[in-house]
């Protein structure tokens, strides 16, 4: 089927051409599938309570997990440091998945190498892969640091990263003083947020070794956590400069994940300077903007650095107020007037949209910190959470989420579905429908199937452009969240009221 080179068609149009339609029809002859009636009957049955019970009795199978694997979070943390090349000890296919996943979200190249372990490494161990891989990476890509993590394969055979890295250094793969932090990131436990935490701890342990001084440097460290909105690091920097205190972001990956197109390829744009990261041990406090992706790192900072840590997630008005008051307390500086004015604007915007969001029943899925923060904001708007699904849940998270729900009259009808996947969510949406679904791009299949409007918040968002460039924290973040949520509601109302002389009585120009 030759294409006209003057008019190359995207598959959106291409597959509607008669020859492709015929091809699909012909294919069915050999598929030996069920009749269309039988498929429709079973599809209908899967929408009911009987199927829901069977679905929730499922134990040994995950369908559409609402989480990623550990090394993905680890390499995400690594690229936030200056000149850092993520190196994954394990199989090539895993690393191809991490890179494409991140690239599809950010529309940016994401560099990360693998030690390409295959059958022989699985039998004899991956030490030679590490020796060769570190040498090649160092020579070819000229990094300032190589951050090593693992895939399941390396973990199953028990590769010892510290010993392997020492051996590679002794073999001359990289200089003895070249920083090669590492983190074991087995994906059969935890998720991408655990991997982020492990790698952050690994990098900080490596860079700060022997750097502790008697007097603190007066700075505040910030750890954003597995936060995929590059606008948030930029908003954080803006807030800190309005206050006028010194700070270090660990790790600052906004330039890496949103680099300017200058016509020249830069493999390592931006990132936290390694010397600043090394000096973070001497800061007066570390503020984490997520709790569950920083558990081990905060524990390490408190115990090993003897430095206090604080968790503050500034999503929504109340949480931003608390965040700014905490920064004021820690820095000894007043809250800048400009931020007070922004607060007024955010409250004004909330008031404008309030009547459209108040009382809306919603379902949400995603990582613990993101879900906690969005639920907190939705409660401020008077929306009512119904299904809260967090695949990578834990007791600490569920306890704090319950406290949040109990603190609001709008949180009383919510159920937390820990450890469940998006196929469970499908059953929930069919049997107990809601007005709104909040989550990442994978929710678009639920949108089509269950006819529930989807607000895209989270990671990954691969089917809409630029959302990751915005901020979701601070008062500016409030306005962005509102924008996404209330305009999704309006689009849905328009869609449902656009039949002339039938439903268009409410097809209004003004909302
Ligand atoms: S779960 Fe394990 S095997 Fe699968 S992609 Fe992640 S690291 Fe690789």
pLDDT at 277 over 90: yes
Round the CA-based radius of gyration of the chain to a whole number and report it. 25
152 is catalytic: yes
Q: What is the pLDDT of residues 54-77, one digit of tens each?
A: 999 999 899 999 999 999 999 999
Q: Of 220, 218, 456, nearest to 323 (Cα)?
A: 220
Nearest CA to ligand 1 atom 1: 187
Burial class (CB in 10 A: 0-12, 13-18, 19+), 197: buried
pLDDT for the residue 73: 98
Q: What is the pLDDT of residues 196-206, one digit of tens each?
A: 999 999 999 99
pLDDT at 148 over 80: yes
For residue 181, report the phi and psi dihedrals to the nearest 5 degrees. Answer: -70, 160
Q: Of 495, 510, 498, 390, nearest to 439 (Cα)?
A: 390
Q: Round to whole Å and give the CA distance between 366 and 422.
A: 10
Q: Exactly one of 39, 42, 156, 396 is catalytic; which is it?
A: 156
Q: Which atom of ligand 1 is nearest to the CA of 69?
A: 6
State in Å: Cα 277 to ligand 1 middle.
29
pLDDT band at residue 255 under the 50/70/90 scheme: very high
Q: What is the pLDDT of residues 329-364, one digit of tens each?
A: 999 999 999 999 999 999 999 999 999 999 999 999
Is residue 122 within 6 Å of ligand 1 at its C-beta? no
Q: Which atom of ligand 1 is nearest to the CA of 150?
A: 7
95 is catalytic: no
Strands (E), 318-435: 361-365, 384-390, 415-418
Q: Round to whole Å and give the CA distance between 101 and 228.
A: 12
pLDDT at 28 over 90: no
State in Å: Cα 502 to ligand 1 middle.
52
Is residue 242 within 6 Å of ligand 1 at its C-beta? no
**What token pair was written down for 358?**
């108040």
For residue 199, report the phi and psi dihedrals to the nearest 5 degrees. Answer: -70, -40
Nearest CA to ligand 1 atom 4: 94
Nearest CA to ligand 1 atom 6: 69
Residue 506 DSSP label: G
Q: Round to whole Å and give the CA distance between 384 and 381.
A: 9
- pLDDT (average), residues 145-168: 95
The mean pLDDT of the chain is 96
- If one residue of 67, 71, 99, 122 were mutated to test the ligand 1 pocket, choosing by the most ligand atoms within 8 A of its CB, it would be 71
Is residue 187 within 6 Å of ligand 1 at its C-beta? yes
State in Å: Cα 165 to ligand 1 middle.
22
DSSP assignment of 116-144, as one string? Answer: ---HHHHHH-SHHHHHHHHHHHHHHH--S
Q: Round to whole Å and give the CA distance between 128 and 134.
A: 10
Is residue 137 within 6 Å of ligand 1 at its C-beta? no
Is residue 94 within 6 Å of ligand 1 at its C-beta? yes
Q: Of 157, 158, 159, 198, nearest to 181 (Cα)?
A: 198
Is residue 254 within 6 Å of ligand 1 at its C-beta? no
């Amino acid at each position: 089927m030759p294409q006209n080179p003057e008019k190359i068609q995207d598959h959106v149009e291409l597959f509607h051409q008669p020859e492709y339609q015929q091809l699909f029809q012909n294919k069915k002859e050999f598929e030996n599938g069920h009749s269309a009636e039988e498929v429709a009957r079973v599809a209908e049955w899967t929408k009911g309570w009987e199927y829901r019970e069977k679905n929730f009795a499922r134990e040994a199978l995950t369908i559409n997990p609402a989480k990623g694997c550990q090394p993905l979070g680890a390499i995400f943390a690594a690229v936030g440091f200056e000149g850092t090349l993520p190196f994954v000890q394990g199989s090539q296919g895993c690393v191809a998945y991490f890179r494409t996943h991140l690239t599809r979200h950010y529309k940016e190249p994401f560099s990360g190498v693998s030690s390409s372990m295959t059958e022989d490494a699985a039998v004899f161990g991956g030490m030679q892969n590490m020796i060769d891989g570190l040498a090649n990476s160092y020579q070819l890509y000229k990094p300032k640091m190589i951050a090593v993590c693992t895939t399941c394969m390396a973990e199953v055979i028990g590769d010892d990263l510290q010993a392997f890295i020492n051996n590679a250094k002794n073999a001359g793969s990289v200089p003895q003083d070249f920083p090669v932090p590492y983190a074991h990131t087995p994906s059969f436990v935890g998720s991408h947020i655990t991997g982020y935490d492990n790698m952050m701890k690994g990098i900080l342990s490596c860079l700060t070794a022997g750097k502790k001084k008697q007097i603190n440097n007066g700075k505040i460290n910030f750890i954003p956590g597995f936060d995929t909105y590059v606008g948030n690091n930029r908003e954080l920097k803006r807030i800190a400069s309005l206050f006028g205190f010194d700070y270090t972001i660990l790790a600052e990956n906004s330039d890496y994940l949103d680099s300017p197109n200058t016509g020249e390829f830069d493999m390592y744009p931006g990132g936290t300077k390694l010397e600043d990261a090394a000096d973070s041990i001497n800061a007066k406090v570390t503020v984490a903007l997520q709790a569950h992706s920083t558990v081990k790192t905060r524990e390490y900072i408190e115990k090993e650095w003897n430095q206090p840590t604080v968790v503050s997630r500034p999503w929504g008005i109340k949480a931003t107020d608390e965040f700014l008051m905490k920064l004021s307390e820690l820095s000894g500086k007043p809250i800048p007037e400009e931020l007070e004015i922004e607060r007024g604007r955010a409250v004004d915007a909330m008031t404008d949209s309030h009547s459209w969001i108040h009382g809306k029943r919603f379902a949400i899925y995603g990582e613990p910190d993101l879900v906690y923060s969005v639920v907190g904001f939705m409660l401020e708007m008077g929306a009512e959470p119904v299904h809260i699904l967090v695949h990578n849940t834990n007791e600490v998270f569920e306890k704090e989420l319950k406290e949040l729900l109990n603190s609001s009259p709008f949180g009383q009808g919510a159920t937390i579905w820990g450890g469940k996947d998006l196929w469970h969510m499908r059953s929930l949406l069919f049997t107990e429908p809601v007005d709104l679904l909040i989550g990442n791009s994978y929710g678009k299949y639920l949108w089509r199937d269950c006819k529930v409007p989807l607000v895209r918040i989270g990671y990954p968002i691969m089917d809409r452009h630029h959302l990751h460039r915005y901020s979701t924290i601070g008062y500016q973040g409030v306005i962005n969240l509102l924008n996404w949520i209330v305009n999704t509601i309006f689009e849905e109302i328009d869609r449902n009221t656009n039949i002339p002389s039938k439903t268009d009585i409410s097809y209004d120009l003004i909302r």
